[in-house]
Amino acid sequence: MPPADCESGLSAAGGAADGNPGHWRKYYRQLLVLAYQSCGVVYGDLSTSPLYVYKSTFITGSLRRFADEEIVFGVFSLVFWTLTLIPLLKYVFIVLAADDNGEGGTFALYSLLVRHAKFSLMPNQEAADEELTSYYRPGYAPQETPILTALRSFLENHRKSRTFLLVTVLFGASLVIGDGVLTPAMSVLSSFSGLQVHSSKLTNGEVLLLSCTVLVCLFTLQHWGTHRVAFLFAPVVIAWLLLLAALGVYNVVVWNPRVLRAFSPYYLLRFFQRTGRDGWISLGGILLSMTGTEAMYADLGHFTAASIRVAFVGLIYPCLVLQYMGQAAFLSKSPNCDIRFIFFESIPTRIFWPVLVIATMAAIVGSQAVISATFSIVRQCTALGCFPRVKIVHTSRRIHGQIYSPEINWILMVLCIAVTVGLRDTTLIGNAYGMACAAVMLVTTLLMALVIVFVWQYSCLVAALFLAAFGVVEAVYLSAALMKVPQGGWLPLALSLAFVAVMYVWHYGTRRKHQFDVENKVSLKWIHALGPSLGIVRVPGIGIIYSELATGVPAIFSHFVTNLPAFHQVLVFICVKAVPVPHVRVEERHLVGRIGPREFRMYRCVVRHGYKDVLGEDTDFENDLVLRIAEFVQMEAAGDQRCSSDDGGSVEGRMAVVPRPSDLARTGLLMREPGEEESVVARAATAARPESLHSMHEAESPGFANRRRVRFEVADEHTDPRVKEELSALVEAKHAGVAYIMGHSYIKARKSSSVFKKFAVNVAYAFLRKNCRGPAVALNIPHISLIEVGMIYYV
C-alpha cells in the first residue's frame, strides 16, 4: 500500500483502537516493524559517522596542538548540541511534520508550496486539479495578511523569483544525488582503513581495492528492493548501534567519567574562546556528525514519520551520544594516539576484530539510506518534468514508495568508484561530504520557512524564528565547509552543478515544447470545417492519440490528418500528466470529456498521476477507457453536475471525473467474458481480424497476453436514440481494434535565437532526449499497435 495510506492506516488503526486492545496491538506491531526496517535503510549513514567525525575535526581544524581535556570536551559538547539541535529538534520534531501526504524530501516541500502558494512553473496545470482530495492539506483555508499578501504577490508575479525557487529546489535535489555518490565512498573506505591499525603490512592500494570490491557488491544488491535490503541490513545496524553504546559506556567508565560535564554549553564557549579561527574551520568535521540526516526526511515515503521518530529517539540518538562521549573520554586521556584511527584505537584489543567486522558491515549498510533517497529524488524529478525519463521498477507490492532505477544505480556506482579511486583519502572525501550535507540542510531550512508561512499559515515571525534558530547555525557550518573547497569541497559543487544543468535543460526543453503546443492549438473553426469525416476516410476502430495538452487539440493533429490517408471511427485524445501531489487516488485519476460535436466521435481523457506514482503496465486499459467514455456519455445525457465546464470552451465541451464504473448499468453496456455467448457484431469483428496480426501482437508485447479479453454489447433499455447510437459506434469501434498514435516531435531553436538557447535546445536537450527512455516505452504502449508521426517544433 502507498506510504501515505500506510501513515493514515496507522492513524486510523489508532483511532479505531479505542476500547479495542486488538487494534492497539496491531497498530504498535506495525509501527515497531517499520521502525525496525527504518534502522537498516534510513539510519545506516548517520550511525556510521563515529568512524570519522573526531578524525576529520582534529585534522581539518588543526586542533592537535589544542588537544587537552578542555578542548576535547568542547568538541564533544559541539557534537552533542549539533545532534540535538539539527537532527533531533529540526528534523524529527519539525521537518518530518511537513510531509506531503506521507512523502518527504525537497520536492515534497516544493510540491506543498506549488499547490498552496501558486509558485508552479509546471505546464498543463488546470483548475480541476485543485479538486483532488490530496491537493490541499486537511483543514487548509486561505488566510491573508498584508505581509503575506505582499510576499505571495511578489513571488507569483515575478517569474524570475519562481525560477530561482525551482533552481534552488533542483540544487537541493542534486545535492542529495551527490550524497549518493559520496556516502558509500566515505563509509566503506573509513571502515576498511581500520585494518591498518593492527595490520601494518596492508597498503593503501589494497585497502582501496577491497573498498571498490565491496562497493560493486553493494550496488549489485539494489535490484532486490528496499524491503528485502531493509530486513537484511536492519539487524546489522541495530547490532552496530548497541555496540557503539556499549563501547561508549566502557570508555567513559574506564578512561574519564568527567566527560559528563561536557554536556554543559560552557565547554562549547570555551572551545571557541581558545581555538578561534581553527575552531571555526573544525566545524567542517563536526558537520559530519549530521551526515545522513537529510536522507531521514527524503526516505519518509518508504516508511512513516511515526516509525522514523520512534527509531531515532529510542535507539539512534542515545547510542550515538554515548559513543561520541566515550571517544571523547578516551581521547582526553590518550593525547598521543593516532587521531586518524581514533575509533579503532578506543576499542579494547580483545574485541578489536569482531568490532571491525561489524563496523565494515555497518559502513556498507550506511550507504543504503542515501542510495534509496536518490532513487526517490530521481523519480520525483522525472514525474515533475525535471529529469530525463529513466526506468523505474516498483520493488514492493505493499509499500508503494520502494523503487529501484537500474540506470541511476549503475551511474551512481561508476561515479562512486571514480571518487574512491580519484581522491583515496577519507579526509578529502569528508570535506566534500560535509559541503554537500551543509548545503542541502540549508536549502531545506529555506523551503521550510516558506512552508511555515504559506502552508501551515503561521506568522512571518515564526518563520523568522525558525530561520534564526536553524538557518543561522547551518550557515555557519556551511561557511566552514566552504573553506575546504580547494581540498575536496569542490567535488559536490561540481556534481550538483552537473545534475542541476541536466535537470534544468530538460525542464526548459519540456516547457518550451508545451508552450509551442499551447500557442499553436488547432482551432475549432478548422475542425468544424472538416466535418464529421475530418476530410478523410473514417475506418472502424479506436484511435488513441497521445497528447501533452490537457485542453485543446495539439498542432500535431493537423499533421496527422494531412499525412494519414484514413483515421479511425472513434478518436480519443489521451493526456498523461503529472500533478504536484505524491499520489492521485484511482477514483480521481481520469477526466473524460468530448471534443467537438457528438457526431465527430472525438473524446478526451486526461490521466493524472502524482510524482510518487509509478506508471505501471495497465493490462485492462482499453476496456477501462471504453467503460469510462460510455459512462461519460450517459452522464452528459442526464445533465450530471459532475460534468464541469472547461477552459477549452466548446472545443472541449464538458469534462468529468469518471472512475471505473462498479455498476455496468451506469454505462449502458453489457460485458461478456470469452466463452460466453457473443453478439453478432462481436463474432463478425473476431472473424474480420487477422489471426496472424493478433499473434504477432502477443509475441511482441508480453503484457498483452495477460490483458483481459471481453466483448461489449449495448443494453436494450436505452430510451435516448442518440445515446444508443453513440454507444453502438463505440462498441463497434472497440471490436474492430485499437491503435495508438503518437507524435514523434523534435524541438529546435529558431535561427534568431541566442547561442545559449541554441546550445541548450539543439545540443543538450536533443542529446538527453535521444538517450532517455522514449515516451512510448515509458507509457507501456504496445509496439505493434503504435503509429508515430514526426514533426519539428521551432521554439
Distance CA 719, CA 724 (A): 8
- pLDDT-derived band at 251 (thresholds 50, 70, 90) equals very high
Q: How far is CA 62 from the centre of its chain?
A: 40
Q: Count the Cβ atoms, other than its own, within 10 Å of residue 155.
A: 18
Identify the residue with better confidence: 571 or 225.
571
DSSP 561-622: HHH-SEEEEEEEEEEEEE-SSS---GGGSEEEEE-S-GGG-EEEEEEEE-TT------TTHH
Closest CA to 72 of 455, 330, 283, 284: 330
The three three-digit cell numbers of residue 382, written as one number: 522525472
Mean pLDDT, residues 491-497: 87
| Selection from 66-75, 117-126, 616-625 with the highest mean pLDDT | 66-75
- pLDDT-derived band at 787 (thresholds 50, 70, 90) equals confident
Average pLDDT score, the chain: 80
Distance CA 449, CA 369 (A): 26
Residue 438 has pLDDT above 70, yes or no: yes
The residue with cell 466483448 is 711
Closest CA to 573 of 623, 529, 625, 516: 625
- pLDDT-derived band at 113 (thresholds 50, 70, 90) equals confident
Closest CA to 90 of 452, 373, 332, 345: 452
Closest CA to 408 of 365, 364, 437, 376: 376
- pLDDT-derived band at 310 (thresholds 50, 70, 90) equals very high
- pLDDT-derived band at 80 (thresholds 50, 70, 90) equals very high
Residue 643 has pLDDT above 60, yes or no: no
Mean pLDDT, residues 450-467: 90
Residue 399 has pLDDT above 60, yes or no: no
Per-residue exposure over 245-284, b if at least 16 CB sit within 10 Å of its own CB, e if not: bebbebbbeebbeebeebbeeebbebbbeebeebbbbbbb
- pLDDT-derived band at 309 (thresholds 50, 70, 90) equals very high
The three three-digit cell numbers of residue 364, written as one number: 556498507
DSSP 352-383: HHHHHHHHHHHHHHHHHHHHHHHHHHHHHHHH
User: How far apart are the two ends of the chain, measured CA to CA in Å?
Assistant: 42
Mean pLDDT, residues 520-536: 79
Residue 160 has pLDDT above 70, yes or no: yes
The residue with cell 570519522 is 52
Q: Which amino acid is at 537?
A: V
Mean pLDDT, residues 441-469: 91
Distance CA 740, CA 573 (A): 10
Closest CA to 738 of 769, 696, 781: 781
Sorted by sequence, the CB contacts under 8 Å of residue 751 that are 6+ apart come out as none
Contact by Cβ (8 Å): 591, 658: yes
pLDDT at 62: 66
Residue 190 has pLDDT above 60, yes or no: yes
Residue 7 has pLDDT above 60, yes or no: no
Q: Is 124 left (phi over 0), alpha (psi -120 to 50) or beta?
A: left
The residue with cell 462498441 is 731
pLDDT at 25: 78
Distance CA 718, CA 24 (A): 52
Sorted by sequence, the CB contacts under 8 Å of residue 138 that are 6+ apart come out as none
Residue 400 has pLDDT above 60, yes or no: no
Q: Angle, to 10 degrees, between the axis of helix 204-220 and the axis of helix 406-423?
A: 170
Distance CA 110, CA 126 (A): 18
> Residue 504, CB half-sphere, CA atoms under 13 Å: how many?
19
Residue 469 has pLDDT above 80, yes or no: yes
Distance CA 621, CA 163 (A): 37
Per-residue exposure over 407-421, b if at least 16 CB sit within 10 Å of its own CB, e if not: bbbebbbebbbebbe
Q: Angle, to 10 degrees, between the axis of helix 159-193 and the axis of helix 106-117?
A: 160
Give me the torsion for CA of 343, 345, 347, 351, rounded to 10°.
120
Residue 526 has pLDDT above 60, yes or no: yes
Mean pLDDT, residues 326-343: 87
Rg (CA), the chain: 30
Q: By percentage, how much of the chain surpasses pLDDT 70?
A: 83
pLDDT at 716: 73
pLDDT at 680: 44
Identify the residue with better confidence: 43 or 327.
327
pLDDT at 210: 86
Q: Where are the alpha helices (DSSP H) in 390-522?
A: 406-423, 426-454, 460-466, 472-482, 490-519
Mean pLDDT, residues 434-449: 90
Distance CA 793, CA 773 (A): 20
pLDDT at 122: 66
Closest CA to 398 of 217, 231, 587: 231
Mean pLDDT, residues 68-72: 88
pLDDT at 707: 57
Contact by Cβ (8 Å): 286, 53: yes
Q: By percentage, how much of the chain surpasses pLDDT 90?
A: 18
pLDDT at 532: 80
Residue 647 has pLDDT above 50, yes or no: no
- How far CA 724 is from CA of 533, 601, 602, 665, in Å, comes to 20, 13, 16, 13
Residue 65 has pLDDT above 80, yes or no: no
pLDDT at 349: 86
The three three-digit cell numbers of residue 243, written as one number: 555496540
Distance CA 168, CA 444 (A): 10
The three three-digit cell numbers of residue 272, written as one number: 571557541
Identify the residue with better confidence: 717 or 418.
418
Distance CA 664, CA 77 (A): 68
Mean pLDDT, residues 472-491: 87
Q: Count the Cβ atoms, other than its own, within 10 Å of residue 749.
A: 20
Contact by Cβ (8 Å): 565, 537: yes
Q: Which amino acid is at 211?
A: S
Q: Tell me phi and psi for residue 264, to 5 degrees.
A: -75, 135
The three three-digit cell numbers of residue 481, written as one number: 565547509
- pLDDT-derived band at 294 (thresholds 50, 70, 90) equals confident
Contact by Cβ (8 Å): 737, 649: no
Mean pLDDT, residues 544-565: 80
The three three-digit cell numbers of residue 674, written as one number: 470469452
- pLDDT-derived band at 55 (thresholds 50, 70, 90) equals confident
Helix (H, G, I), strand (E, B) or coil at 710: coil
pLDDT at 417: 92
> Residue 97, CB half-sphere, CA atoms under 13 Å: how many?
11
The residue with cell 566545524 is 283
pLDDT at 644: 47
**Count of all residues that appear for the chain in the document:** 795
Q: Where are the alpha helices (DSSP H) in 225-351?
A: 226-254, 265-275, 277-281, 283-286, 293-298, 305-311, 317-333, 342-345
Residue 9 has pLDDT above 80, yes or no: no
- pLDDT-derived band at 83 (thresholds 50, 70, 90) equals very high
Per-residue exposure over 444-475, b if at least 16 CB sit within 10 Å of its own CB, e if not: bbbbbbbbbbbbbbeeeeebeebbeebbebbe
pLDDT at 267: 93
pLDDT at 14: 42
Q: By mean pLDDT, which of 430-444, 667-681, 748-762 is the weakest? A: 667-681
Sorted by sequence, the CB contacts under 8 Å of residue 619 that are 6+ apart come out as 703, 706, 707, 708
Contact by Cβ (8 Å): 295, 45: yes
Q: Tell me phi and psi for residue 134, to 5 degrees.
A: -95, 10
Give 486: exposed, middle or buried? Use CB within 10 Å, 0-12, 13-18, 19+: exposed
Q: Count the Cβ atoms, other than its own, within 10 Å of residue 347.
A: 22
